[in-house]
Amino acid sequence: MADRGVVGANLFGAQQAARGPLNRYPLWRYALIAGIVALGLLYAAPNLYPPDYALQVSADNATRPVDDAFLAEAAATLDAAGVAVVGAELTGRGALLRVASNDDQLRGRAALDAALNPAGDVRGFVIALNLASTTPAWLDGIGGKPMAKGLDLSGGIHFVLEVDVDSAVGKRLEDEADNIRARLREARLRYVRAGGMVREGAIRIGFNDATDRDAALALLKEDYAAPNYVTAAAEVDGRPGAVVEVDAAQVEEIEDYAIAQNMVSLRNRVDEIGVSEPLVQRLGRDRIVVDLPGVQDASEAKRILDKFANLEFHLAAKADDRPSELEEMPYEGRTRRIQRSIIVTGDRVTNAVQGYDPQTSLPQVNITLDSIGGERMHDATAPNIGHSMAIVFVEQQPVKQADGSVVLRNDRRLISVATIQAALGYSFRITGLSAREAQELALLLRAGALAAPMRIVEERTVGASLGEENIERGMYSVAAGFALVLLFMPLYYKVFGLVADLALTLNLVILVAVMSLLGATLTLPGIAGIVLTVGMAVDANVLIFSRIREELKRLPPQRAIQAGYDRAFLTILDANVTTLFVALILLSIGTGPVAGFAVTLAIGIVTSMFTAIMGSRAVVNLIYGRRRVAALAI
Amino acid sequence: MPATNFNFMGARRMAAAVSGVLLVASVLAVAFAGLNRGLDFTGGALVEVGFAEAADLPSVREALAGAGFDNAVAQNFGAQTEVLIRVPPQAGRDQSTVGDRIMAALAATQPGVALRRSEVVGPSVGEELTEQGGIAMLVALVAVMVYIMFRFTGKFAVGAVAALAHDVVVTLGAFAVFRWTFNLAELAAVLAVIGYSLNDTIVVSDRIRENFRIVRRGKPVDIVNRSLNETLGRTLVTSLTTLLVLVALLLAGGEQIRGFATALTIGVVVGTYSSIYVSASMLLAMRVTKEDLVLPEKEAAEEVP
């Protein structure tokens, strides 16, 4: 225990009394401190340049280029709508128009949308809310950027969505059950068809006799073995049977994949809402957080996020298909029969755009699949040229149950039946559509499929006016609290109080710099965390100074300073380490605002250790170090 | 501050009585009245709206009842022009559109109404948070106890954790008695109280340990008294600076941060008291002796050749 204390003390340059002169730091230590302070000032500086509210206009399906003439016209449109344009520039992504407030931003977007995207036409331009940096180029060049503001400060909408990961696992089981049926048929093994194969989270297959079962089991164990699957003999519906279960680790992998896929789809949808820097991140096992800064219309955002949909590509029924393998669906006024088995689902679609056939100028939809999807599409279509392929759109609708709980039901509808004209690969096109149909189909395909359904479990909207008020009040209380402490310290500790003030100011600068560098988000509780850090960071200096006062009763000034810093060190370390524990525990339970508070508190503890011990010591050494001191102003 | 020589421990029986009453009252309040848990924990919906002029609450309530929100609670929030509307979670009803429907109902009847914020939390989210919050508090207490056992001794750890539990219970009790809304931010504040109070307790314990080692003669009660007097200046100055910034937050931070600042303020005051009267008194009650503290040091010394 005692040993550890000495190591800790050396780290901060105490306990040098035995060898060197009292209260002098070697030059390199001053240089180190000065360097850290300089870096702190440098990386805290971008926060002096708050970003502008802006509108980002980029061409989507537009025929005209985004150039200087376009920029001037867009600025004129905004002016006409009573929205003052603070700045306009061309960037790699299109036109950037800076405006004065969040309110102007929203009105400006409506005005530009009306002017640039006439109703009933293909959307030509995407107009997104953005925050444009005003950081000077040289600061930007060294990686300096201001802290991002949380939703409670910037205004915006926060959603938490819960993903039904169980259904992703169920879907995987259905896929595998299809494969198993095919394998069993190939091997001419008869299985019992009654009832579905996928039940209670596993594939359960019943056989008429044990011989068939054993043969099937041997076959299945080739494909469905450890580590991904557990295949075993069991009784199914009173008959000899086989059960294929997915291993827990594999289940987790399927869940992870489903969440990742849903996040990609969500990002695409959020782009449709028109937010250029949305936050989409995973929360815990089965939740996703979506933050839309600046957006105010929750119901519109929800309509777009709620379009939880998927697509399935099926082959249309062929003459020799068994009725049990087919399903019937209405399409353009008549009933069409399609195969139940799915070629690929929408989550394999990587892109879909509406275009025109270069030869005939007729509208079409160009679809790109990922490599697995392309392979499956090829295998399914190559032997079926001349047959039809159907696209089924699956939409999720919440259905209330008698007990009040909500269950999600999939509504399926046939949206396209097209003739397969060649073996299709990862890139193909659907023709024979009207321009409107092609546009809608492309949008549906592109809006992205979900690997599993999800629903909104939490929603918070912060109005722009409240956000601005929160910033104002937060900043005001930081300033007031800080000023009170700065005033108090010199009153109580005289020269040493001024030293503590300097350390405290540096602490604030370095805290802001570290938070900016780490890309931490500033929230209202985060500001409270800063205030609290200011109050508590003084503690280290108070501990040191009161110790110096005590030591002065029995030691000369130089020795008292030395002893004060040395003896207080372990106490400060103990106290701060335990507070750090608490901050980390907070970080583990909270998201959003609470996490913001915990991060600020944790960083503040570390930076205050540096400024209160090393920083203040350096200044004290500079003041009292190289001279004879009769009395201390403490 | 001049050197003080208060006989803190002389009043420890009275302090124990005060703490006991506070604790019992708090536990009873939390157990019977319960915490006024906010939206984060209960689930449900909340809409804050602003008006250009003072809000007409009866007409707002009428508009809400007309839209089918009979059980909605509408009250002023911080200012005459602000109204906070709360709708408890309803089994079997889709909550996700509550905010939109309330705004639609108000916009139709109340001119000049503007949305300030709206929050909808599903009941499952709230239940999980309640559980996580409780676990977080326990984990924090256990982690602290283990660390202090490691850095000090078992008796100090018991004293420190007793002080922390005392502060947490009394802070929660105040929230239960005054029916202040307890949300996630307030939970964060209570956890921060644990951090703050611990800071105080460790500083005091550190000095008690030091004095037990230095002072050759003297009864434990005198050594504890001396330690408390020596650290009194620091205890008061740090509490004062922390309270200064908390008062700034309370007065200027706005309505949304008020509960958070209140919880911390109570915690800091109670924490300052408990570091003197709970942890130190517990040490004496457990008959802490010089041997408790000197022994580990000797062992450590023997290990080093």
How is A283-308 classified by DSSP, letter by letter?
ETTTEEEEEEET---HHHHHHHHT--
- B264 CB near a chain A CB, below 8 Å? yes
User: By CA distance, what is A462's nearest residue in B?
Assistant: B117
- B99 CB near a chain A CB, below 8 Å? yes
- pLDDT level of residue A593 (50, 70, 90 thresholds): low
Contact of A217 with A231, CB cutoff 8 Å: yes
CATH number of the structural domain A2-48+464-624: 1.20.1640.10
Q: Any alpha helices (H) in A100-209, and if so which ranges?
A: 102-116, 137-141, 151-154, 165-186
- Which residues have C-beta within 8 Å of that of residue A430, sequence separation ≥ 6? A364, A365, A367, A391, A416, A418, A438, A441
- A477 CB near a chain B CB, below 8 Å? yes
* pLDDT above 60: residue A2: no
- B91 CB near a chain A CB, below 8 Å? yes
Contacts of B4 in chain A (CB under 8 A): none
Cβ separation B240–A461 shorter than 8 A = no
Rounded CA gap, A462 and B48, in Å? 9
Rounded CA gap, A380 and B278, in Å? 76
> Which CATH superfamily, name and number, covers A52-132?
RRM (RNA recognition motif) domain (3.30.70.330)
Quote the percentage of chain A above a pLDDT of 70. 88
User: By CA distance, what is B145's nearest residue in A?
Assistant: A578
- pLDDT level of residue B173 (50, 70, 90 thresholds): very high
Where does chain A hold its CATH 1.20.1640.10 domain(s)? 2-48+464-624
Find the mean pLDDT for residues B198-215: 86
pLDDT of residue B170: 95
Which H helix or E strand runs over B168?
helix B154-178
**CA-based nearest residue to A512, from A581, A613, A586, A611:** A611
- A404 CB near a chain B CB, below 8 Å? yes
CA distance A84 to chain B (A): 23
- pLDDT level of residue A246 (50, 70, 90 thresholds): confident
Which H helix or E strand runs over A500?
helix A464-518
pTM, two decimals, is 0.75
Contact of A574 with A5, CB cutoff 8 Å: no
Give the nearest partner residue to B117 out of A463, A474, A492, using CB atoms: A463
A28-42, A471-485, B53-67, B243-257, range with greatest mean pLDDT: A28-42
User: By CA distance, what is B301's nearest residue in A?
Assistant: A2
Residue B200's identity, in one-letter code, is D
Where does chain A hold its CATH 3.30.1360.200 domain(s)? 309-449
Our measurement of the distance from residue A219's CA atom to the centroid of its chain's CA atoms, rounded to an integer in Å, reads 43
Cβ separation B256–A463 shorter than 8 A = no
Cβ separation B119–A456 shorter than 8 A = no
pLDDT of residue A272: 66
Contact of A287 with A161, CB cutoff 8 Å: yes
Interface subset of A 137-176, CB within 8 angstroms of B = 152, 160, 162
Residue A356's identity, in one-letter code, is Y
CA dihedral A441, A443, A444, A449 (to 10 degrees): 140
**Domain A166-247 maps to which CATH number in 3.30.70, 3.40.50, 3.30.1370, 1.10.10?**
3.30.1370
- B101 CB near a chain A CB, below 8 Å? no
Q: What is the pLDDT of residues A448-486, one digit of tens each?
A: 566 777 888 888 888 878 888 888 888 888 889 889 999
Rounded CA gap, A230 and A227, in Å? 8
Interface subset of B 142-201, CB within 8 angstroms of A = 143-144, 147-148, 151, 184-185, 187-188, 191-192, 194-196, 198-199
Cβ separation B238–A542 shorter than 8 A = yes
Contacts of B243 in chain A (CB under 8 A): 535
Contact of A605 with A533, CB cutoff 8 Å: yes
Q: Any alpha helices (H) in B215-289, and if so which ranges?
A: 220-252, 255-277, 279-285
DSSP B82-109: EEEEEE---TTS-GGGHHHHHHHHHHHH
Provide the total of helices (H) and of strands (E) in chain B, helices listed first.
11, 6
Exposure on the CB side of residue B105, measured as CA atoms within 13 A: 21
* pLDDT above 50: residue B242: yes
CATH number of the structural domain A309-449: 3.30.1360.200
Contact of A544 with A570, CB cutoff 8 Å: no
Burial of A65 (0-12, 13-18, 19+ CB in 10 A): exposed
Q: How far apart are the first and last CA of chain A?
A: 32
Would you say the ipTM is above 0.90? no
Residue A547's identity, in one-letter code, is R
- Give the CA distances from residue B81 to residues A463, B55, B158, B180, in Å, rounded to whole numbers and listed in that order: 15, 5, 50, 21
Rounded to the nearest 10 degrees, the angle between the axes of helix A524-552 and helix B220-252 is 140
Q: Any alpha helices (H) in A191-332, and if so which ranges?
A: 210-223, 248-273, 298-305
Q: What is the pLDDT of residues A138-171, one digit of tens each?
A: 888 888 888 888 888 888 888 889 888 888 888 7
Under DSSP, is residue A387 helix (H, G, I), strand (E, B) or coil? coil
Q: Which long-range contacts (CB under 8 A, 24 or more apart) does A295-301 make?
A: A295/A129, A295/A156, A295/A157, A296/A102, A296/A106, A296/A155, A296/A156, A296/A157, A296/A461, A296/A463, A296/A464, A296/B115, A298/A157, A298/A459, A298/A461, A298/B99, A298/B100, A298/B118, A299/B97, A299/B100, A300/A273, A301/A157, A301/A159, A301/A273
Contact of A577 with B147, CB cutoff 8 Å: yes
Contacts of B124 in chain A (CB under 8 A): 162, 457
Rounded CA gap, B297 and B302, in Å? 9
pLDDT of residue B302: 42
- Which residues have C-beta within 8 Å of that of residue A173, sequence separation ≥ 6? A198, A201, A202, A203, A246
Domains and CATH numbers, chain B: 8-37+125-299 (1.20.1640.10), 44-121 (3.30.70.3400)
pLDDT of residue A529: 82
Query: Which residues make beta-bridge pairs with A243?
Result: A204, A232
Backbone angles phi, psi at A121, to 5 degrees: -105, 170
A-B interface: how many C-beta pairs under 8 angstroms? Answer: 230
Cβ separation B191–A586 shorter than 8 A = yes
Find the mean pLDDT for residues B263-272: 92
Contact of A497 with A489, CB cutoff 8 Å: yes
Backbone angles phi, psi at A369, to 5 degrees: -110, 165
User: By CA distance, what is A634's nearest residue in B?
Assistant: B1
CA distance B286 to chain A (A): 23
- A407 CB near a chain B CB, below 8 Å? no
Give the nearest partner residue to A594 out of B94, B184, B240, using CB atoms: B184
**CA-based nearest residue to B106, from B62, B73, B70:** B62
- B245 CB near a chain A CB, below 8 Å? yes
Under DSSP, is residue A58 helix (H, G, I), strand (E, B) or coil? strand
Is the backbone peptide bond immediately before A118 cis, with ω within 30 degrees of 0?
no
Tell me the two tokens of residue B22: 């506070």
Rounded CA gap, A592 and A521, in Å? 9
Rounded to the nearest 10 degrees, the angle between the axes of helix A464-518 and helix A524-552 is 50
- B132 CB near a chain A CB, below 8 Å? yes
Cβ separation B203–A571 shorter than 8 A = yes
Pairing of strands A521-522, A148-149: parallel
A377-386, B21-30, B270-279, range with greatest mean pLDDT: B21-30
For residue B128, count other CB atoms closer than 10 A to its CB: 15
pLDDT of residue B95: 65
Residue B245's identity, in one-letter code, is V
Optimal mutation site among B113, B164, B234, interface A, most CBs of chain A within 10 A: B234
Where does chain A hold its CATH 3.30.1370 domain(s)? 166-247
- Which residues have C-beta within 8 Å of that of residue A56, sequence separation ≥ 6? A91, A93, A94, A95, A96, A126, A127, A128, A129, A130, A276
Contact of B167 with B190, CB cutoff 8 Å: no
- pLDDT level of residue A409 (50, 70, 90 thresholds): low
Interface subset of B 5-24, CB within 8 angstroms of A = none
CA distance B225 to chain A (A): 16
- pLDDT level of residue B301 (50, 70, 90 thresholds): very low
pLDDT of residue A445: 72
Give the nearest partner residue to B245 out of A160, A535, A601, using CB atoms: A535
Under DSSP, is residue B203 helix (H, G, I), strand (E, B) or coil? helix
Tell me the two tokens of residue B193: 């109280």
pLDDT of residue A32: 92
* pLDDT above 60: residue B298: no
Contacts of B98 in chain A (CB under 8 A): none
pLDDT of residue A18: 45
Contact of A23 with A612, CB cutoff 8 Å: no
Q: Which DSSP symbol is given to A210?
A: H
* pLDDT above 70: residue B2: no
Which H helix or E strand runs over A364?
strand A363-369
Under DSSP, is residue B141 helix (H, G, I), strand (E, B) or coil? helix
Cβ separation B99–A590 shorter than 8 A = no
Optimal mutation site among A403, A571, A608, interface B, most CBs of chain B within 10 A: A571
Kindly tell me the sign of the dihedral angle through the C-alpha atoms of A204, A210, A215, A217.
positive
- Which residues have C-beta within 8 Å of that of residue A391, sequence separation ≥ 6? A311, A312, A313, A314, A414, A415, A416, A417, A418, A430, A441
CA distance A121 to chain B (A): 29
- Give the CA distances from residue A276 to residues A129, A156, A265, B271, B281, in Å, rounded to whole numbers and listed in that order: 6, 13, 15, 46, 59
**CA-based nearest residue to A623, from A613, A633, A611:** A633
Our measurement of the distance from residue A431's CA atom to the centroid of its chain's CA atoms, rounded to an integer in Å, reads 37
pLDDT of residue A4: 39
Optimal mutation site among A161, A457, A534, A634, interface B, most CBs of chain B within 10 A: A457
Where does chain A hold its CATH 3.30.70.330 domain(s)? 52-132
Higher pLDDT residue, A451 or B62? B62
- Which residues have C-beta within 8 Å of that of residue A544, sequence separation ≥ 6? A564, A565, A568, A572, A612, A613, A616
Find the mean pLDDT for residues A48-77: 83
Contacts of A549 in chain B (CB under 8 A): 233
Give the nearest partner residue to A581 out of B114, B140, B256, using CB atoms: B140
Contact of A309 with A394, CB cutoff 8 Å: yes
